[in-house]
Amino acid sequence: MSIKFLKALSMLITVSLLMVASAGCGGSGGGGSGNSDEIVIGVLVPTSGSEAYYGTDMLQSYQLAVDEINEAGGVLGRTLTLYQADDGCNANMATQAASKIVSHGVDFVVGGYCSGATIPALQQFYDANLVTLVSAANSTEITKLGLNQTFMFNSPGNHAADTLVDLLRFLGSQSVALIHQGDAYTKDLSDICESVLPQNGIDIATVQVMEKGSADVSAIVTAIRNSGADFVYWCGYHADGSNVIKQLRQGGYEGDIAVGDGSASVELITASGPAGEGVYVTSPPFVEFASGGDTFVADYTAKFGAGPGTYATLCYDTMYVLKEAIEKVGSTDFEQVRDAVQNADYKGLSGRIKFTSDRELEVSNFIILQIKDGSFALVTI
Amino acid sequence: MFSTWELILQQLVNGLILGSFYALIALGYSMVYGIIKLLNFAHGDIYMTGAFVCLTVFGALSRAVAGWPGIILSIVAAMFLAGILGYLTQRFAYRPVLGAPRLSLLITAIGVSLVIYNAVMVITNSQPLFFVSGLDNSAGIQVGNITITYIQMILLVVSSVLMIGLTLFIGRTMIGKAMRAIAMDQDTCRLMGINVNKIIGLTFVIGSALAAIAGGMACVYYGNVQFNMGYTMGIKAFTAAVIGGIGSIPGAMLGGILLGLLEAIGTQFLGSSWKDVFAFGLLILILILRPNGLLGRSVVERM
C-alpha cells in the first residue's frame, strides 16, 4: 500500500512542478490564431507507454497529411504546423498534456487514442473553444459528454458490436464469453456487447475481467470453458490479447475467438504465434483493404521507413476534413469551422465521413479480418 | 462442460501454477525480511528484470541455440544478472543504511524499486516485448476434461525442486545455519566470527536469482514482458509472504500457493472481478486469527 501512496505522492509533486513550469510560459501562449502565417494544430496522442506504437503511427499520419497540404500551398495561404503532447494512455498525463496544448495557443486539436486518457482532456479543449477531432478513441462515453465541438472519426463501440453480430450470425455461434480489462474503453465495448448481443438472440455466457498487469488468465479460461461459450470476444488491447489467445488454446478452449479493434495490430499475429491462427478481428479500416490505399501506403512508407498502422487512414482523413472545413468557411473561426465539420460529407480512405447530430459517424467503418497463414485476410460476409 | 470435481481440479491446477510464481517471489521477500527485517519492495522489479534478461538473451541466442537449450541458458543468464543486481542493491543501497532507523531502510527500498522500474521503462521505451519461442505451448495431456500442458508440468517441477532445494540449503548447510543465526542475533554472530555482510549479500543473491527464475518462466509461459509486470506480482508475492508468516521459508511457499488457489477458486465461483476481493478478504480473516501469519512465530527467530 505504502508504495502506491508514495508513487502517487511523487506523481503529485511532479505534476505541481510541471504546472509551475507551464504557468511560467503560459503568458506567451493563447495567441496562436493571432499569427497569420500558421495554423497550429494540437495533437494529443500517446508516444510513450504501452500504446506508444499507435500514438506514433497516428502522429506520423497527421504529419504526412500536413506535409502534403503545405506542399500544395497550405490552407488559405497559411501553413499547417503540428504541436504534439504525450498523453501516455493515462488520465493523469493526459490532463497535463491537454493543458500544454491549450496554453500553447493552438487553433484546433486532433488525436485521441486511449479513451481513458482522451476523456479527461476533452473538457479542457471545450472550455478553450477548440474544435476537437478525435481520430481513434471510440468510447461512447465521449458522446455522452455532449461536447458540441468534439467529433469522433472512428466508429464507436456500438458499431463494433453490430459488426460482431454479423460475424456471429455468419458462424452460427450461440453463446459468447466477453473479456475486458476494466478500463474505460474495454469495459465500454464489453457493456455494449452485453446489451446488443441478447437483442439479436445471442446469449452472453459469461463476462470476465483480466486486470491490467496480471498475466495469468488460466482460471478465467476454465470458467469460460465451463460456461459453455462457443465464442470468445476479447475487448482489450493487443499486448495482453496475444497472451489471452495463447492461454485460451493452452487451457483447452476449442471454439472461435475474436478480438476488438484495440487488438487490431500485426504484432498480435507474431506474439500469439500458432495459437493465433483463425482468430477474427473486428477491425477499423485497415489501409491495405481500402480503395486508393496503395498510394497512401507507398507515401507513408517512403517517408517513415515503415508501413502505416491501424489508425493511420482515420488520422489522414481527419486532417483533410479539417482542411476542407477551414477552406469552406474561409477562416479559422471556432463556430464556423465547428459547423462546417458537423455538415461535412467526405469520402476518405477510411470510408464515408458524415456525422450524426451526436457527432458520431453515421455509417460503421468496421471490417472483419481473420488471421490466416500468419497475416490478416479480409472476411466478406 | 466440466463435471463439478473436474472443474474444481482444473481450477486447482490453475491456482497451483499461479501460486508457484507467487511462492518463488515470496521466498525472496521472506528471506530478506528474516535476515535484516527489510521489506524489499524492489523485489518485484528484480522479477521483471529477470524476465527482460531472459527475453533478451533468448533473442540474441536464437540463431545459435533455440528451443529448450536456449530457454535454459536464458534463464540461467537471468539468474546470474538478477543475482548481481540484487547484490549491488544490497551493497550500495541497503548496507549503508542498515544501522539507520527501519523507516530509512524502507524508503531506500522504495527508491531502489522506482530506479529499476523507471530505468527499464526508459530502456524499453515502455513497449511490451514478446517472447516468440516457436514451441507449442498448447501441447499437453488431457484427463477427462482437465488439461495440463507440458510447460505447466515443467513449471511445477522446477518450482518444487527449487523450493525443496532452498529448504535443504537453509536447514542443512553451514551457510544456511549462518543465515538462521544472523536472523536471531547479528552482533553475536559477528562475535562468533561469521562474516555477516557476506551472508546478507548471499541472501540477496539467492532471493534475486529465485525471482529471476520466476521472471524467466513467466516470460516463456505468458509470452509478453512489460516494465510494469513486477508491480502487481510483487505486491501479491509480498502478501503471500505475510500470510505465510514473513521470515518463514515454508510459510512463503504456503502463502504463495494459497493465494494462487484462492484467486482461481474466487474466479470460478464469484467471477474474475471479485476474485481479489474474495482472496484478500479471506487473507484478512487469516491475519485476524493468526496475526503472525500461518507459519510465523512471534519470537525473534525468523528463518
Q: How far is B121 from chain A (nearest CA, A)?
A: 8
Which of residues 9 through 38 in chain B touch A, CB cutoff 8 A?
10-11, 14-15, 17-18, 21
Q: Tell me the percentage of chain A whose pLDDT exceeds 70.
A: 91
Contact B226 A50 (CB under 8 A): yes
SS3 B107: helix
Residue-level pLDDT at A6: 53
Taking contacts as CB-CB distances below 8 angstroms, the residues of chain A near B128 are 50, 239
Taking a C-beta distance cutoff of 8 angstroms, is the pair A300, A60 a contact?
Answer: yes
SS3 B139: coil
Residue-level pLDDT at A95: 95
d(CA B275, CA B268) in angstroms, rounded, equals 8
Residue-level pLDDT at A53: 87
As a CATH number, domain A157-283 is 3.40.50.2300
Chain B residue with minimal CA distance to A228?
B1
- Give the residue from A205, A217, A268 showing the smallest Cα distance to A244: A217
DSSP codes joined into one string, A161-229 = HHHHHHHHHHHT--EEEEEE-SSHHHHHHHHHHHHHHHHTT-EEEEEEE--TT----HHHHHHHHHHT-
SS3 B143: strand
d(CA A295, CA A292) in angstroms, rounded, equals 6
Query: Beta A175-180 vs A231-234: how paired, if at all?
Result: parallel
- A119: which residues sit within 8 A by CB, 6+ positions away? A91, A137, A139, A141, A142, A145, A184
Q: Which of B136, B149, B231 sits opposite A213 (nearest CB)?
A: B231
As a CATH number, domain A38-155+290-354 is 3.40.50.2300
Own/partner contacts of A374-381, CB < 8 Å, gap of 24 or more, are A374/A269, A374/A277, A375/A266, A375/A269, A376/A266, A376/A269, A376/A281, A376/A283, A376/A286, A376/A288, A378/A289, A379/A167, A379/A280, A381/A166, A381/A167, A381/A170
d(CA A15, CA B238) in angstroms, rounded, equals 29
Sign of CA pseudo-dihedral B112, B127, B151, B268: positive
Least confident of B64-78, B103-117, B209-223: B64-78
Taking contacts as CB-CB distances below 8 angstroms, the residues of chain B near A53 are 127
- B135: which residues sit within 8 A by CB, 6+ positions away? B67, B68, B151
d(CA A356, CA A129) in angstroms, rounded, equals 21
State the pLDDT confidence band at B299, using cuts at 50, 70 and 90.
low
- Give the residue from A136, A160, A153, A143 showing the smallest Cα distance to A55: A136
Taking contacts as CB-CB distances below 8 angstroms, the residues of chain A near B275 are 219
Q: How far is CA A298 from the centre of its chain?
A: 23
d(CA A343, CA A353) in angstroms, rounded, equals 10
Taking a C-beta distance cutoff of 8 angstroms, is the pair B2, B10 a contact?
Answer: yes
- Give the residue from A269, A337, A253 showing the smallest Cα distance to B149: A253
Q: How far is A12 from chain B (nearest CA, A)?
A: 15
Residue-level pLDDT at A30: 38
Contact A53 B127 (CB under 8 A): yes
Cell of B219: 516470460
Please tell me if residue B127 touches chain A, with a CB cutoff of 8 Å: yes
d(CA A106, CA A84) in angstroms, rounded, equals 10
Q: How far is B43 from chain A (nearest CA, A)?
A: 13
Which residues are registered as beta bridge partners of A367?
Answer: A283
Chain B residue with minimal CA distance to A53?
B127
Taking contacts as CB-CB distances below 8 angstroms, the residues of chain A near B136 are 274
Taking a C-beta distance cutoff of 8 angstroms, is the pair A281, A264 a contact?
Answer: yes
Taking contacts as CB-CB distances below 8 angstroms, the residues of chain A near B130 are 242, 267, 270-271
State the pLDDT confidence band at B298, using cuts at 50, 70 and 90.
low
- Give the residue from B290, B177, B187, B239 showing the smallest Cα distance to B30: B239
Please tell me if residue B274 touches chain A, with a CB cutoff of 8 Å: no
pTM of the entire structure? Answer: 0.78
Q: What is the mean pLDDT of chain B?
A: 91
Q: Where are the alpha helices (DSSP H) in chain A?
A: 2-26, 52-71, 91-104, 115-127, 140-144, 157-171, 184-199, 218-227, 238-250, 266-272, 293-304, 312-329, 334-342
Taking a C-beta distance cutoff of 8 angstroms, is the pair B216, B78 a contact?
Answer: yes
Beta carbons within 10 angstroms of residue B5's beta carbon: 10
Q: Which helix (H) or strand (E) segment is A43 a member of?
A: strand A38-45
Query: Beta A375-378 vs A367-372: how paired, if at all?
Result: antiparallel
Which residues are registered as beta bridge partners of A134?
Answer: A111, A152
Contact B147 A228 (CB under 8 A): no
Taking contacts as CB-CB distances below 8 angstroms, the residues of chain B near A50 are 126-128, 226
d(CA A172, CA A167) in angstroms, rounded, equals 8
Taking contacts as CB-CB distances below 8 angstroms, the residues of chain B near A275 are 137-138
Residues of chain A with pLDDT under 70: 1-35
- B273: which residues sit within 8 A by CB, 6+ positions away? A182, A208, A209
Cell of A133: 477531432
Taking a C-beta distance cutoff of 8 angstroms, is the pair A61, A75 a contact?
Answer: no
Q: Which residue has cell 527499464?
A: B120
Q: Which of B128, B138, B263 sits opposite A50 (nearest CB)?
A: B128
Chain B residue with minimal CA distance to A181?
B273
- What pLDDT digit, counting tens, does each position of B98-146 carry? 888 989 999 999 999 999 999 999 998 878 899 987 777 788 888 888 8
Taking contacts as CB-CB distances below 8 angstroms, the residues of chain A near B138 are 246, 249-250, 274-275
- What pLDDT digit, counting tens, does each position of B2-61 carry? 888 899 999 999 999 999 999 999 999 999 998 888 999 999 999 999 999 999 999 998
Residue type, B190: R
Start-end ranges of CATH 3.40.50.2300 in chain A? 38-155+290-354, 157-283
Mutation to test the A interface, candidates B222, B229, B239, most A Cβ within 10 Å: B222
Count interface pairs A-B at CB distance under 8 A: 129
d(CA B175, CA B177) in angstroms, rounded, equals 5
